[in-house]
Chain A
């Protein structure tokens, strides 16, 4: 069972939306280790741990860590080079120059 003890990145939405106004589980992320691009919902999340650990489904490196204390939270995204978040259509920033 220990090899199977992870969950999907879907479950990150609730814990992350305590911090952010964006559903990051619906965002696309790029793994800093292997470069794979895919939905954050597709991360493998180890939740039986002192924090949530989201790993790349391709190379298993850590892309996201979230630790929640009663009065604080830590979000570590150093394992993700970017997040692409779907947004309502609006003028881009910076504006065309």
Chain B
């Protein structure tokens, strides 16, 4: 994997590149992974995102940001897109976009909410809903780089059917040494689950996270209210704010 800006933070000004749909994978009833072919893609770090821009026949344009779901595969990048029912861009990407059709992408962007494989500190990932996407990119990059950094992922979802990457997470929790995965269900838990559905709270973060004195790096991604709650919990547990990195999702799609 190559970094967009390996040493310092200096990179070229960003322009838009043409991308075509190469492959589509259904993840849940409302989420899809879209594999894009982007000639000349410069590489990226786990946690970074891309801006996707659509252009209508009359020149009207709409752009949205999406997290990269994993390390690049040559010129191919993967995004996981949650379909927003009244959205302007995501329904096009999930329902109308045909293989080979062009869109434009700009990226990679974001040099802060990233994990670098040379980091050895323990990592806590806390995902709310489709906020799992950039965190999954870190989980995948960790294994691809052979990193021994211990990872814990706490994944909050409404119901078991909403779990994105469910099979892969099950496999990785078994096979990726040093990766723990735990779930919080907010609306409906699977059969045999201990406890009631609930919103993420202190007990979840305390039980399934890392103690602050291990100085972990914490990455929290999800809707703004979720991120706010979790970041406050982590800081309350003694994690310094500089080691709690957050990525909030906007309301539009």
Contact = CB atoms under 8 A, between A and B. Distances in A.
Interface of A: 1, 4-11, 13-14, 17-23, 25-27, 38-39, 41-42, 47-48, 85-88
Contacts of B65: 11, 14
Contact of B246 (A8, A25, A27): A8
Interface in B112-157: 112-113
Contacts of B250: 7, 47-48
Nearest to B50: A14
Max chain B C-beta neighbours (<10 A), residue from A10, A38, A48: A10
B248 interface: yes
29 contacts: A1-B251, A4-B224, A6-B224, A6-B248, A7-B224, A7-B250, A8-B227, A8-B247, A9-B112, A10-B112, A11-B65, A11-B110, A14-B51, A21-B12, A21-B13, A22-B11, A23-B10, A23-B111, A38-B241, A39-B242, A41-B111, A41-B112, A41-B113, A47-B250, A48-B250, A86-B8, A86-B9, A87-B10, A88-B10
Contacts of B10: 21-23, 87-88
B44 to A, nearest CB: 12
Nearest to A90: B8
Interface of B: 5, 7-14, 49, 51, 65, 106-107, 109-113, 223-225, 227-228, 241-242, 245-252
B228 A4 contact: yes
Contacts of B8: 86-88
A5 B9 contact: no
B247 A21 contact: no
Given A4-B225, A10-B247, A11-B65, A27 B110 contact: no
Contacts, number: 94
B11 A23 contact: yes
Nearest to A7: B248
Given A6-B224, A42-B112, 17 more contacts: A1-B251, A4-B228, A8-B113, A10-B113, A13-B109, A13-B110, A14-B49, A17-B14, A21-B11, A22-B11, A23-B10, A25-B109, A27-B9, A38-B241, A39-B112, A41-B113, A87-B9
A50 B107 CA distance: 23
Given A17-B13, A19-B13, A88-B8, A26 B112 contact: yes
